[in-house]
């Protein structure tokens, strides 16, 4: 009796968590576009219920042994069955809570940040759309459902990046983000089809079961894993499709915090976790993933070292941390990826939200400008940002330290030490660029005259401050929950690779690396009378290389302009106009011309034709009579 | 019958050929109409001759009809030619080249 | 006369014809009256088609609402209407597009009476074709729907309208010139002295060689109407030139006639010919998908872009038909329906914008979201549907077709899926340059779409979303026809 009751309450909670934001999206779009407070209320109300349901689910199923699945009939066509349903296991429960929590905090924060915007209601509608899609993505029991909401998440990302559509750069960035992720999604979709054709369905649990090896050859598994990883590359902005994410910072800052750092871009990593057992069946694919994660992490760290735009720095850092998670997962540690995903969601959202307060108060993205205008006098965001930065850099006792250490431990397990070295190098660069920004921001610049201002009084400061404090608390405390979380996942199938050897020396190395990055940053930017010029900026070509994003963007731009637009599209259009159309026009003109020709035969020759008639009649007569 | 039937045939044939010649060669709509009339008359002569030859009156009745039709045709035809002349200022069939 | 129950199908035709007669009888100056009459009679057809769609007994399947009347006995011509899982979606589509098309043309003020009269005539032909099960009537209705199209474009059109109307008519007549011999050939070869499709489709009626010959004629003949590459160039030109209500019918319904003709006549009567030519169909369809997307990328006129996206989408329908599978047929018919609604919404939205700004050139537009957010939203949502965003109806048709294609023609499936990126690129490009960007001075005074004028767009949007969220509504219907048909194949 009690058993069925719990099941029912679970189902109701899952339905509430996933469907309410959609209802609020529809209501806002259709009815309350002109009622700002009502729209915000609807959206925040919906996400609050989702959050409560998600927490309820997490608490109820903390000791979950076997994953729960619910299916409802959605689409049936021939032998293709696409159910709508829920899959509750540690991965989805944790992700559901993370997504709901950060959505809730960001929506609360946006009350202050977006207060003066004329698209206030639209903003909340899109936020609800995103929450709906993302929550359904996390809880999807089949890859079909996951793919569907994956696309919708991409759509909401497009809409939110281009939210200020009067700015050309914003709409351009939205388009770029959509098309680049679409490119990855096409690979993802093909991978899905490949798996579908050989397995008959795309249930995630069945995909993860060892039975798959019996139905698909190793080559096929590798190919479909690589194709599905294409989707991850697109969504999580991995090499070579990484350049859309920095541009996506054109969107409002809370959007960057929610979508483009904490949750949506993490969906790629989440998918990796989801299909972890499936992916681990192919060693080749895992090797490729590891390489891509490493390249991404290092490349984007270098880009972050030279950027002056506060949001860009955090965007590059997001890419690099996502690469880091992929490395951990590809190194074989499921828990490492998931744990870093969780902690990263907390501190990266915090970093963006802090940046948002500076931008909102001071009206600039440039870190030197923020420093000059006295950004450090905004106490709450400065302190919170420092905490989050310490977590990002991997300093104890903040959450990032613990999760990074797990990833590094996983890398240390690998035979080839180069991955560990790369990981440590990444950690060093991360600490360097993080504290470069913090020192620029915090340490007053003596060369500039101080300008008096009191930005404390501006509207919405405390509305924005609340979420910051909550997230900062989480960042400080989350690291100590490593044990329980590991237990939580330990119950689950995902204990594919347990920690075997202990690397007692690893935490010290990690701390030392992070500390050396911090010290380098302090020497260059924090010291009294420091020149405030990084070592990269002293090397011209290196600086250009990094700040031009390794010329990737230029390459893509030229590729699209020349190959897609000019050559292929141009050729097709020419073919349409000059060959097919012109050919048919010529054909019809020829028909008209031949008509002319025949009509000229008939011209002013009435008597000849009469003669012809007579001759023919006479000949016929001769023929018949003689 | 005084005139042998063979002579009638020859006369009618010659008349008809002259009509054809007139219609085909003359560069005037009026002369073409005349040629057509001559051909009609050749046929009428043949009809009359054959009536006498076979002692059968039906042919003469047809000739009366032909006269009536020919009269109507000439009047309509001439009217058309006059109208065409007013429109184009020419009765040369070669000048009627609206198809061009 | 044999009717099983009330003749709903004939009632649809009759309401079209009565509407036509009433419009002709009303004096031309009473424009408002004519529009109301059109709306009422098209509304009746819409209600009837909705009723049919839901009254159809899916558990029983097969032909329902059958109406037969032996019209001319000697050659075996029967007035034979029936509904099954293939044509009910099409009837519903026609009803929706017809009604919303009439509402979209509400602001017309030039020769209103003649316009709606021809509009009704056109739709009568379309309805008749979709519901008929007799080859002779299919051909007659086909020609009935072709003739008013010429006048509708040539008189009420815009860009190069004479050229477009003439081109369209010639193309479609060329198609009809291929269809007619094929029909006569099949009629003669069967030796059964009947045009009844249900009789002719019995296995063994035609030899394989006869089927191959007839099918290719029917495929090209109807394929011209379905804008199969390389016979597609009439359709963008026609879309652009036609007035918006006509573009809606043209892209939404008329192109579906072609695909439906391939299905109902070609595939039903010549299944072996179908299997024989399937690879050719797949190749042409894939070329159409990719090619349409690339050409759409470099268009400068809003309606040309939609026109080429239609070419691309009809390629998806063709690919579905070429797979010879249940999923392929399901996907193709669903895509026909979804694309019809989606493209009608696109043209309807463009119609409002064009009536206000008097330009369709993308470079001259821009920033329209500031002045007409709702009108822009209609277009943007339809554009998203065109890109295959989930939860909008087109996604499901594409999904099923791609799955089926991937099973049968892996390479073609891959290429077609890759074209999704291009179609996303060109639709987003249009959206960006038309609706985003700074506010433009010359459009600052324009009003947003009011509720009454927005009504047709709302209807189309709701249909798009309803079938996007719950596609089983449609798939269950199509399956009643497609599964028995595929299982019955030799």
Segment A366-400, tens digit of pLDDT: 888 888 777 777 888 888 888 898 888 888 888 88
**How many Å separate Cα A382 from the centre of its chain?**
27
> What is the band of C301 on the pLDDT scale with cuts at 50, 70, 90?
confident
At residue A475, the pLDDT reads 84
Find the mean pLDDT for residues A219-246: 89
> What is the band of B99 on the pLDDT scale with cuts at 50, 70, 90?
low
Give the separation between CA A19 and CA A50, rounded to whole angstroms. Answer: 9
Half-sphere exposure of residue C249: CA atoms within 13 angstroms, side-chain side:
30
CB interface of B with A, residues 33-92, below 8 Å: none
SS3 A119: coil
Find the mean pLDDT for residues C142-146: 87
Give the separation between CA C69 and CA A178, rounded to whole angstroms. Answer: 56
**How many Å separate Cα A291 from the centre of its chain?**
19
At residue A3, the pLDDT reads 44
Find the mean pLDDT for residues A60-88: 83
Find the mean pLDDT for residues C33-49: 93
A19 is a domain residue: yes
Give the separation between CA A41 and CA A46, rounded to whole angstroms. Answer: 8
| Residue C3 pLDDT > 70 | no
| Residue C2 pLDDT > 70 | no
Q: Alpha-carbon torsion A36, A39, A40, A41, what sign?
A: positive
| Residue A532 pLDDT > 80 | no
A53 is a domain residue: yes
Q: For residue C450, what is the DSSP state?
A: P
Q: Alpha-carbon torsion C13, C15, C19, C25, what sign?
A: positive
A481 is a domain residue: no
Q: Do A602 and B99 touch (CB under 8 A)?
A: yes
Give the separation between CA C53 and CA C477, rounded to whole angstroms. Answer: 8
Q: Is C175 on the interface with A (CB under 8 A)?
A: no
A539 is a domain residue: no
Its pTM stands at 0.87
- Verify A-B touch: 3 or more CB pairs within 8 A: yes
Give the separation between CA A278 and CA A281, rounded to whole angstroms. Answer: 6
Alpha-helical runs (H) found in A114-142: 120-138
CB A249 within 8 A of CB A195: no
| Residue B72 pLDDT > 90 | yes
Q: What proportion of chain A, given as a percentage, has pLDDT over 90?
A: 16
| Least confident stretch, A296-300, C64-68, C226-230, C448-452 | C448-452
Burial of A593 (0-12, 13-18, 19+ CB in 10 A): exposed
> Rounded to 5 degrees, what are φ and ψ at C69?
-150, 120
The domain ranges of chain B are 5-89
Of A73, A74, A77, which to mutate for an interface test with C (greatest number of C Cβ within 10 Å)? A77
| Residue B20 pLDDT > 50 | yes
| Residue C463 pLDDT > 90 | yes
At residue B1, the pLDDT reads 62
Please calculate the CA angle C250-C253-C277 and round it to the nearest 5 degrees. Answer: 105
Which neighbouring-strand residues pair with A72? A84
| Residue C190 pLDDT > 70 | yes
| Residue A498 pLDDT > 50 | no
CB A293 within 8 A of CB A330: yes
Give the separation between CA C341 and CA A429, rounded to whole angstroms. Answer: 53
| Residue A452 pLDDT > 70 | no
pLDDT digits (tens, 9 = 90+) for A166-203: 888 888 899 999 999 999 999 999 999 988 888 888 88
Give the separation between CA C103 and CA C336, rounded to whole angstroms. Answer: 22
**CATH at A10:** 1.20.120
Spatial CB neighbours of C131, under 8 Å, sequence gap ≥ 6:
C9, C12, C13, C81, C82, C83, C87, C91
Give the separation between CA A50 and CA A91, rounded to whole angstroms. Answer: 17
First to last CA, chain C: 33
| Residue C287 pLDDT > 60 | yes
Give the separation between CA C456 and CA A514, rounded to whole angstroms. Answer: 62
DSSP A363-431: ---BHHHHHHTTGGG-HHHHHHHHHHHHHHHT-TTSHHHHHHHHHHHHHHHSS-THHHHHHHHHHHHHH
Give the separation between CA C316 and CA A612, rounded to whole angstroms. Answer: 59
CB C229 within 8 A of CB C291: yes
Q: Provide the mean pLDDT of chain C.
A: 89
The domain boundary residue, chosen from A117, A137, A157: A137
Find the mean pLDDT for residues C172-199: 89
pLDDT digits (tens, 9 = 90+) for A4-27: 445 578 888 888 888 899 999 999
Q: Which residues of A touch B96 (CB under 8 A)?
A: 604, 606
A324 is a domain residue: no
Which neighbouring-strand residues pair with C134? C196
CA distance C316 to chain A (A): 16
Which residue would you say has higher pLDDT here, A286 or A600?
A: A286
Give the separation between CA C454 and CA C379, rounded to whole angstroms. Answer: 12
| Residue A522 pLDDT > 90 | no
Spatial CB neighbours of B4, under 8 Å, sequence gap ≥ 6:
none
A229 is a domain residue: no
The domain boundary residue, chosen from A137, A158, A178: A137
Q: What proportion of chain C, given as a percentage, has pLDDT over 90?
A: 44
Please calculate the CA angle C130-C63-C2 and round it to the nearest 5 degrees. Answer: 90
Q: What proportion of chain A, given as a percentage, has pLDDT over 70?
A: 94
C-alpha pair distances (Å), A86 with each of A70, A96, A193, A272, A282: 5, 11, 21, 18, 27
Site of tokens 């054109």: A250
Q: Provide the mean pLDDT of chain B.
A: 88
Please calculate the CA angle C71-C77-C82 and round it to the nearest 5 degrees. Answer: 85
CB A53 within 8 A of CB A14: yes
Q: Which residues of A touch B95 (CB under 8 A)?
A: 604
> Rounded to 5 degrees, what are φ and ψ at B83?
-65, -45
Residue A119 is part of which domain span? Answer: 1-137
Q: What is the three-state SS of B10-41?
A: HHHHHHHHHHHHHHHHCCCHHHHHHHHHHHHH
Which residue would you say has higher pLDDT here, B46 or A3?
A: B46
| Residue A1 pLDDT > 80 | no
At residue A115, the pLDDT reads 83
> What is the band of A447 on the pLDDT scale with cuts at 50, 70, 90?
low
At residue C119, the pLDDT reads 92
> Rounded to 5 degrees, what are φ and ψ at A374?
80, 40
CB interface of C with A, residues 291-330, below 8 Å: 291, 294-295, 297-299, 325-327, 330
CA distance C402 to chain A (A): 8
Give the separation between CA A315 and CA A304, rounded to whole angstroms. Answer: 8
Q: Strands C2-3 and A80-88, how do they pair? A: unpaired
CB A236 within 8 A of CB A273: no
Instruction: Looking at mean pLDDT, say which of A63-72, A126-135, A325-334 comes out highest.
Output: A126-135
Give the separation between CA C227 and CA C318, rounded to whole angstroms. Answer: 10
| Residue B83 pLDDT > 60 | yes
- Verify C-A touch: 3 or more CB pairs within 8 A: yes
Which residue would you say has higher pLDDT here, B98 or A109?
A: A109
Tell me if the bond preceding A397 is cis, omega within 30° of 0: yes
CB C247 within 8 A of CB C347: yes
How many independent structural domains does chain A possess?
2
A519 is a domain residue: no
pLDDT digits (tens, 9 = 90+) for A408-441: 888 888 888 888 889 889 999 999 889 888 888 8
Q: Which residues of A touch C89 (CB under 8 A)?
A: none
Closest of C139, C67, C130 to residue C93, by C-alpha: C130
> Rounded to 5 degrees, what are φ and ψ at C132?
-80, 145
CA distance A617 to chain B (A): 12
Q: For residue A75, what is the DSSP state?
A: E
Q: Do C403 and A196 touch (CB under 8 A)?
A: yes
B5-89: CATH, from 1.20.1250.20, 1.10.287.3510, 3.40.50.150, 3.30.300.30: 1.10.287.3510
A509 is a domain residue: no
First to last CA, chain B: 55
pLDDT digits (tens, 9 = 90+) for C74-131: 888 989 999 999 999 999 999 999 999 999 888 888 888 999 999 999 999 999 999 9
Site of tokens 């919404």: C345
At residue C331, the pLDDT reads 92
| Residue C218 pLDDT > 50 | yes
At residue C426, the pLDDT reads 87
Find the mean pLDDT for residues C19-47: 92
Q: Which residues of C touch A166 (CB under 8 A)?
A: 367, 370, 436-439
Total Cβ atoms within 10 A of residue A70: 17
Q: Which residues of A touch B29 (CB under 8 A)?
A: none
Half-sphere exposure of residue C313: CA atoms within 13 angstroms, side-chain side:
36
Give the separation between CA B67 and CA A499, rounded to whole angstroms. Answer: 125
- State the ipTM, two decimals: 0.91
> What is the band of A448 on the pLDDT scale with cuts at 50, 70, 90?
low
């Amino acid at each position: 009796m009690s058993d069925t009751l719990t099941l029912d309450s679970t189902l109701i909670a899952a339905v509430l968590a996933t469907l309410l934001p959609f209802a609020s999206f529809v209501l806002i779009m259709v009815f309350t576009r002109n009622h700002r407070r009502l729209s915000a209320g609807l959206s925040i109300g919906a996400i609050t219920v989702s959050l409560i349901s998600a927490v309820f689910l997490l608490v109820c199923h903390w000791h979950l042994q076997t994953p729960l699945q619910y299916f409802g009939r959605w689409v049936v066509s021939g032998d293709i069955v696409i159910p709508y349903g829920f899959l509750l296991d540690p991965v989805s429960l944790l992700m559901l809570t993370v997504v709901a929590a950060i959505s809730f905090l960001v929506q609360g924060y946006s009350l202050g940040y977006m207060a003066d915007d004329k698209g206030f209601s639209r903003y909340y509608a899109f936020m609800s759309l995103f929450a709906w899609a993302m929550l359904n993505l996390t809880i999807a029991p089949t890859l079909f459902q996951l793919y569907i909401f994956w696309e919708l998440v991409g759509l909401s990302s497009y809409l939110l990046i281009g939210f200020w559509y009067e700015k050309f750069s914003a709409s351009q960035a939205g388009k770029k983000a959509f098309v680049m992720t679409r490119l990855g999604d096409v690979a993802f979709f093909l991978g899905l089809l490949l798996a579908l054709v050989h397995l008959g369905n795309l249930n995630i649990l069945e995909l993860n079961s060892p039975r798959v090896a019996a139905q698909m050859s190793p080559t096929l598994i590798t190919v479909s894993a690589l194709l599905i990883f294409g989707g991850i590359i697109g969504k999580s902005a991995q090499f070579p499709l990484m350049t859309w994410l920095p541009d996506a910072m054109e969107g409002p800052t809370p959007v960057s915090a929610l979508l483009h750092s904490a949750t949506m871009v993490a969906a790629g990593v989440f998918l990796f976790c989801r299909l972890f057992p499936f992916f681990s069946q192919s060693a080749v694919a895992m090797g490729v993933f590891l390489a891509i994660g490493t390249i991404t992490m290092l490349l984007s760290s270098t880009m972050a070292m030279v950027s002056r735009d506060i949001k860009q720095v955090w965007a590059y850092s997001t890419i690099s941390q996502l690469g880091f998670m992929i490395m951990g997962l590809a190194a074989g540690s499921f828990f490492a990826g998931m744990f870093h995903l969780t902690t990263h969601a907390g501190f990266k959202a915090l970093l963006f939200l802090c940046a948002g307060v500076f931008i909102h108060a001071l009206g600039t993205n440039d870190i030197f400008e923020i420093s000059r205008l006295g950004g450090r006098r905004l106490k709450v965001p400065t302190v919170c940002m420092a905490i989050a930065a310490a977590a990002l850099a991997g300093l104890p006792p903040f959450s990032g330290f613990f999760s990074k250490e797990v990833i590094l431990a996983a890398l240390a397990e690998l035979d080839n030490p180069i991955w560990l070295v790369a990981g440590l190098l990444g950690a060093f660069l991360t600490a360097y660029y993080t504290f470069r920004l913090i020192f620029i921001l915090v340490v007053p610049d003596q060369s500039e005259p101080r300008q008096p201002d009191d930005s404390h009084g501006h509207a919405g400061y405390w509305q924005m401050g609340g979420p910051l404090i909550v997230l900062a608390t989480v960042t400080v405390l989350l690291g100590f929950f490593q044990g329980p979380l590991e237990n939580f996942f330990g119950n689950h199938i995902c204990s594919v690779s347990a920690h075997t050897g202990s690397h007692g020396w690893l935490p010290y190395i990690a701390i030392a690396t992070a500390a050396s990055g911090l010290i380098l940053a302090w020497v260059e930017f924090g010291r009294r009378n420091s020149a405030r010029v990084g070592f990269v900026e002293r090397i011209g070509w290196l600086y250009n290389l990094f700040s031009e994003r390794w010329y990737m963007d230029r390459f893509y731009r030229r590729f699209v302009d020349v190959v897609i637009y000019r050559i292929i599209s141009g050729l097709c259009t020419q073919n349409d106009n000059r060959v097919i159309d012109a050919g048919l026009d010529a054909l019809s003109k020829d028909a008209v011309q031949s008509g002319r020709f025949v009509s000229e035969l008939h011209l002013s020759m009435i008597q000849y034709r009469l003669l012809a008639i007579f001759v023919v009649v006479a000949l016929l007569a001769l023929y018949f009579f003689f | 019958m005084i005139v042998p039937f063979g002579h009638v045939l020859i006369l009618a044939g010659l008349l008809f050929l002259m009509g054809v010649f007139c219609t085909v060669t003359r560069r005037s709509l009026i002369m073409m109409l005349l040629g057509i009339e001559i051909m009609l008359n050749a046929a009428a002569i043949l009809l009359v001759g054959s009536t006498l030859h076979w002692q059968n009156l039906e042919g003469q009745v047809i000739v009366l009809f032909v006269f009536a039709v020919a009269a109507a045709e000439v009047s309509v035809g001439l009217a058309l030619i006059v109208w065409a002349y007013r429109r184009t200022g020419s009765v040369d069939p070669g000048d009627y080249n609206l198809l061009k | 006369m044999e009717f099983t129950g009330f003749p709903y199908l004939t009632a649809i035709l009759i309401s079209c014809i009565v509407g036509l007669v009433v419009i002709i009888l009303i004096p031309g100056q009473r424009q408002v009256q004519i529009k109301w009459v059109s709306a009422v009679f098209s509304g009746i057809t819409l209600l009837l088609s909705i009723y049919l769609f839901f009254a159809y007994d899916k558990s029983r399947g097969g032909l329902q609402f059958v109406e037969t009347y032996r019209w001319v006995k000697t050659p075996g011509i029967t007035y034979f209407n029936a509904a099954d899982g293939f044509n009910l979606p099409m009837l519903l589509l026609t009803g929706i597009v017809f009604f919303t098309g009439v509402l979209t043309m509400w602001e017309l003020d030039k020769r209103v009476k003649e316009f709606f009269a021809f509009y009704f005539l056109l739709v009568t032909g379309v309805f008749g074709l979709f519901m008929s099960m007799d080859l002779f009537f299919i051909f007659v209705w086909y020609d009935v729907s072709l003739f008013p199209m010429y006048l509708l474009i040539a008189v009420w059109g815009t860009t190069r309208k004479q050229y477009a109307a003439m081109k369209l008519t010639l193309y479609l007549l060329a198609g009809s010139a291929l269809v007619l011999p094929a029909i006569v050939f099949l009629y003669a070869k069967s030796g059964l002295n009947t045009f009844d499709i249900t009789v002719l489709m019995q296995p063994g009626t035609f030899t394989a060689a006869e089927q191959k010959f007839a099918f290719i004629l029917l495929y090209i003949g109807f394929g011209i109407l379905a804008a199969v590459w390389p016979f597609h160039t009439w359709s963008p030109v026609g879309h652009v030139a036609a007035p918006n209500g006509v573009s809606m019918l043209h892209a939404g319904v008329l192109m579906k006639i072609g695909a439906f003709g391939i299905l109902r006549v070609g595939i039903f009567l010549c299944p072996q010919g179908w299997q024989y030519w399937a690879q050719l169909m797949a190749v042409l369809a894939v070329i159409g998908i990719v090619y349409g997307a690339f050409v759409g990328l470099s268009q400068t006129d809003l309606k040309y872009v939609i026109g080429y996206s239609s070419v691309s989408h009809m390629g998806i329908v063709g690919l579905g038909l070429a797979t010879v599978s249940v999923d392929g047929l399901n996907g193709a018919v669903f895509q026909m329906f979804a694309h019809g609604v989606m493209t009608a919404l696109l043209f309807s939205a463009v119609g409002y914008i064009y009536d206000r700004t008097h330009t369709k050139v993308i470079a001259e537009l821009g920033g329209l979201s500031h002045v007409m957010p709702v009108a822009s939203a209609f277009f943007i949502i339809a554009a998203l549907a065109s890109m295959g965003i989930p939860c909008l109806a087109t996604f499901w048709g594409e999904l099923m077709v791609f799955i089926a294609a991937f099973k049968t023609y892996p390479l073609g499936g891959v290429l077609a899926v890759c074209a999704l990126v291009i179609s996303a690129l060109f639709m987003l490009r249009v959206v960006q340059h038309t609706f985003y960007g700074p506010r433009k001075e010359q459009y600052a005074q324009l009003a947003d779409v009011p509720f009454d004028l927005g009504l047709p767009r709302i209807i189309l949007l709701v249909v798009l979303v309803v079938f996007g969220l719950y596609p089983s509504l449609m798939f269950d219907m199509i399956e009643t026809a497609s599964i028995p048909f595929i299982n019955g194949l030799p």
